[in-house]
Chain A
Amino acid sequence: MGKEKKNELSEFDLLAECLAQMEQQGINHKLMSINFDHKTLQELNHQSGTNTTLEELHKLVDKCLANSWLEHTVMGAKYNELSLTATGFGAAKSRRRRAEVLGQLSTTKRMSDYVVDHRGLFMVFGFLLALASFTLTIWRYLK
């Protein structure tokens, strides 16, 4: 519920950054190219308020490469000249749309969704509360 507090970047932040650069430059995913270097890391950390290291960023890029969300445009350094694949572009768009939809939900709807998503937990709490009330009642009766 509400905006999540972030400690570190996720692979989806990288995809979002690629999408943002594409829109900035007015090019599609087949023409774009991005280097995941110190400069990009600084921008990402600044935008997200995180403190990710270059090594951690490269691990995230590895995840994206493994999931075929990013691909190399030329043969060369592993973390340079990368572009979004059609799958990566779709994943980035889907995540963005999901964030937009979540942002438009009313507080009541968000609370309701939260309860539905965590209904198992609420059932356990309800059971424990009922058990505690029952135990208290029996104890008072026996007293």
Chain B
Amino acid sequence: MKDQFTVDAVCLFCGSTLKAEENAEFESGDMIECKSCGEKNDYDSVLEVAAEKGTAIVADEVMGELSKTLKKIFK
């Protein structure tokens, strides 16, 4: 099973990956501008969506591994 998972922060309006300058730092309450559509995204909401996506990816991986393990046990 993978040790690391990467989730991109995406624009809540157009779905493009949000990009910022290299040394940019954001904190709760900030608004991040999407370079594709120009909309401003609430930082906390972007994190929440990314966290939900990440949780779903990890859950899928775990279920996959569990399924493989159980198949081996009951072979």
On A, residues with C-beta under 8 Å from B are: 67, 86-87, 89-91, 93-94, 97-98, 101
Contacts and interface: CB of A to CB of B under 8 A. Distances in A.
B31 A87 contact: no
A117 to B, nearest CB: 10
**A interface majority secondary structure:** helix
Interface string B23-49: 000000001000000011110111011
A90 B52 contact: no
A131 B41 CA distance: 42
Interface of B: 12-13, 31, 39-42, 44-46, 48-49, 52
A94 B41 contact: yes
Nearest to B53: A86
Nearest 7 Cβ contacts at the A-B interface? A90-B45, A94-B42, A91-B12, A90-B12, A93-B42, A86-B49, A86-B52
